[in-house]
Structure 1
């Protein structure tokens, strides 16, 4: 099975551990529970199936039952803490610490890339801007941005984008985009994207007054929907985004970076 620092979901790790032990011996859920100090022969199966939580007081015993010690036990505890965390801020802190440990022990979590790429507007904007400005230095790129960013940050972010494969360096200060998309676990990616949505919504609010009508376009509809219509509207919006993305992807001589937000959310409870 994979090394523990390749996981972000403790339930999947426990299930893979169980399957591996069962494959090579007469291991059972009863024995697994007994090793971890549980009287119920089925409790850990319920945990793996997502039907029960693993309490903080039992984490160490379960880790030891799987022969985890040192940083491996710490990493397992972090995975459980992430699952139990209620606040988005705390979930983010835990996943970043897991990513730090994974890199320290020669593994890489794509979740770390997702968090870094989506942590601020500079990352996706510079990914678009850098290929438009061949030969430009970081201070020139910083000056081209409508929001404040330092040349030092531009330089650091460009190095990240190249190292992680979001940009390709074609020579001195010349960049091209790769086709790479951000891939992460089902736990991490929504958390990372939510952070980006919140930030971009704030910039959209400022853009209403910051730019003249000829440079920005806002529209909105307030409508009644039901569950079926909601699904149809979402599908139409996603199709629209795909068409716009294809349109921009096949265009040349681009000279500016724009952000498009599409927001569709409830203003009332169901009646």
Structure 2
């Protein structure tokens, strides 16, 4: 079984713990529940299946019952609270705790790079812009950004992109993109991307006043749909995004960096039952 600091989903961790104990002994869900002090013999089974969550009280009992000590307890409790958190700000808080423990114990967490990449609009923009400006110093790249940014911030972004393998320096101040993509865990990456969506959404709002209609295209539709229509629209948006990506990739003489946001979200709650009721 992997060390606890290689997990980010406590349901998966407890499931693997149970399977490992069962593989090496006559371990059962009833015994597991009894050791942890639970009356229901199937309680921990439902937790491992993701049907039930541990609470702050029960996570302490479970941590003790499976023999966690020291940093393992701290990591487990942060992992439980990360998994249970509803708000992204709370998830980020507990994920930071998990990452700091993992780094301290020499475990590479790919979410660290993912969060740094998506933490600001600068990194995706600099990744696109730097290869278009061979030989340019950070200050010159900064002046080409429509948002206010310093030369120092651009330099830090370049250093991060090169360190994480997203840019390759082929000569002094000459960069090219690598084929490497930003990777993360299934728990951490969506959280990092949502952070980027918020920032890019704010930039889209800002663009309404900063740029003329000839430089930006912002449209919208308010409409009524059902689940079937929603799924069809999502598929159409996904196909559209892929077609636009293909157009961008085929562009040979790039002169500018743009951002495209595709947004579809509810403006009302779902109406259920007979419309005549």
Mark yes or no: TM-score above 0.5: yes
Shift of 1:58: 2.4
Look up the match of 1:236. Answer: 236
Q: Secondary structure at the match of 1:229?
A: helix
Q: Which residues of 2 match residues 167-182 of structure 1 at below 5 A?
A: 167-182=167-182
* Alpha-carbon separation, structure 2, partners of 1:130 and 1:255: 12
* Alpha-carbon separation, structure 2, partners of 1:259 and 1:127: 13
Shift of 1:211: 0.9
Shift of 1:162: 1.8
* Alpha-carbon separation, structure 2, partners of 1:47 and 1:172: 54
* Alpha-carbon separation, structure 2, partners of 1:112 and 1:212: 37
Shift of 1:44: 1.1
Look up the match of 2:275. Answer: none
Unpaired segments ≥5 residues, structure 2: 272-277
Q: Which residues of 2 match residues 95-110 of structure 1 at below 5 A?
A: 95-110=95-110
* Alpha-carbon separation, structure 2, partners of 1:78 and 1:270: 34
Look up the match of 2:185. Answer: 185
Look up the match of 2:160. Answer: 160
Cα RMSD of the aligned pairs, angstroms, is 1.7
* Alpha-carbon separation, structure 2, partners of 1:260 and 1:104: 38
Query: How many residue pairs get matched?
Result: 271
Shift of 1:186: 3.0
* Alpha-carbon separation, structure 2, partners of 1:69 and 1:153: 41
Look up the match of 2:141. Answer: 141
Q: Which residues of 2 match residues 54-65 of structure 1 at below 5 A?
A: 54-65=54-65
1:78 aligns with 2:78: yes
User: Are residues 60 and 198 of structure 1, via their aligned partners in 2, closer, same or farther at CA, if it must alter by over 3 Å?
Assistant: same
Q: Secondary structure at the match of 1:142?
A: helix
1:210 aligns with 2:210: yes
Look up the match of 2:87. Answer: 87
* Alpha-carbon separation, structure 2, partners of 1:224 and 1:28: 51
Q: Secondary structure at the match of 2:168?
A: strand
* Alpha-carbon separation, structure 2, partners of 1:250 and 1:65: 58
Q: Secondary structure at the match of 2:175?
A: strand
* Alpha-carbon separation, structure 2, partners of 1:16 and 1:171: 48
Q: Secondary structure at the match of 1:47?
A: helix
Look up the match of 2:274. Answer: none
* Alpha-carbon separation, structure 2, partners of 1:269 and 1:43: 33
* Alpha-carbon separation, structure 2, partners of 1:101 and 1:39: 33
Q: Is the 8 A contact 1:88 1:191 kept in 2?
A: yes
Q: Secondary structure at the match of 1:219?
A: coil
Q: Secondary structure at the match of 2:162?
A: helix
Q: Which residues of 2 match residues 23-42 of structure 1 at below 5 A?
A: 23-42=23-42
Unpaired segments ≥5 residues, structure 1: none
Q: Is the 8 A contact 1:95 1:111 kept in 2?
A: no
* Alpha-carbon separation, structure 2, partners of 1:221 and 1:157: 36
Look up the match of 1:253. Answer: 253
Shift of 1:56: 0.9
Shift of 1:259: 0.6
Q: Is the 8 A contact 1:165 1:178 kept in 2?
A: yes
Q: Secondary structure at the match of 1:148?
A: coil
